[in-house]
A and B are shown apart, each in its own frame.
Chain A
Amino acid sequence: MIVVTTEGVAGHEVLETIGLVRGCSVRSSALHAEVVARGMEQVGGEILEYTKLLAEVREQALDRMVDEARARGADAVVAVRMVTSEVSRGSAEIIAYGTAVKLTPR
């Protein structure tokens, strides 16, 4: 599955536009990780627990978007974007969305 942020894919033409596909995920860190992260906030520097949490959410949201595209018979997802929302404090939330398309080599 090709996943790009551009409107098209180099070397290919869009044969069919399938439509919007999206995936979202909301995750939180475990209590012990949260305690350590709060401690890191006081001493400064990168908060690894939050970096990891955000990366987990990003990957899961992207994978869910790709799963939907695959289920709808797409070859690629173009114009992919990611946005954050805020459902609850202490959680990381990402929505990934894009346009599922069928491609043909140019």
Chain B
Amino acid sequence: MIMTTQDRPPDRDELLAMAYVDDELDGAERSAFESRLAHDERLRQEVSQLRKLEVLARRVAPPEPADLVWAALDRDALHRAGLSTGLLLCGAGVAVVALGVVALVLRASALPLALRIGVVAVVLGAAILYGTLLRARLRTIPHDPYTEVRR
């Protein structure tokens, strides 16, 4: 990976990837590189990493005083613990409430069967949908250079 520390000079593919990201290849070189990209996963990873770096470098600017305070807060154990605990409790609470609703509906024999099945289907469907979308997002994050943009 180019973004990791390395002592050796970049190889030809890494130099080509840098030139590609910096828009320095001419038409024929660009086309040739793009056709290789379509079949070479390692090259795609290289370009993705370089694009992240390029997007980040474009945004280099002197930090504002508030940015420094936010950066310090990000390192502050109490702040991080507060955010993590709050989010964890909220998430766990939603899950427990959803499971509780399912349990209540399943036991409520006074409710019509169709309604009970419908409520359980909605809760399960929402959980499956969210899980599937989250999985898809986690797989695309490594190729998304814009997650590095700060402002």
Which single residue of chain B is at the shortest CB-CB distance from A57?
B146
Residues in A with CB closer than 8 Å to B146 are 27, 56-57, 59-60
Binary contact readout B70-102 vs A (1 if CB under 8 angstroms, 0 otherwise): 100000000000010011001000000000000
Closest Cβ neighbor of A73 among chain B residues: B27
Question: Which residue from chain B places its CB closest to the CB of A53 in the assembled complex?
Answer: B149
A88 within 8 A of B: no
- Interface residue tally for chain A (C-beta within 8 Å): 16
Q: Which B residues touch A35, using CB under 8 A? A: 86-87, 90
Q: Is A46 interfacial (CB 8 A cutoff)?
A: yes
CA–CA, A32 to B137, complex, Å?
Answer: 14
Q: Which residue of B lies closest to A30 (CB)?
A: B137
* CB contact between B147 and one of A1, A51, A56, A70 (< 8 Å): that residue: A56
Q: List 17 A-B contacts (CB under 8 A).
A: A1-B23, A27-B146, A30-B137, A32-B87, A36-B83, A48-B70, A52-B149, A52-B150, A52-B151, A55-B149, A55-B151, A56-B147, A56-B149, A57-B146, A59-B58, A59-B146, A70-B23
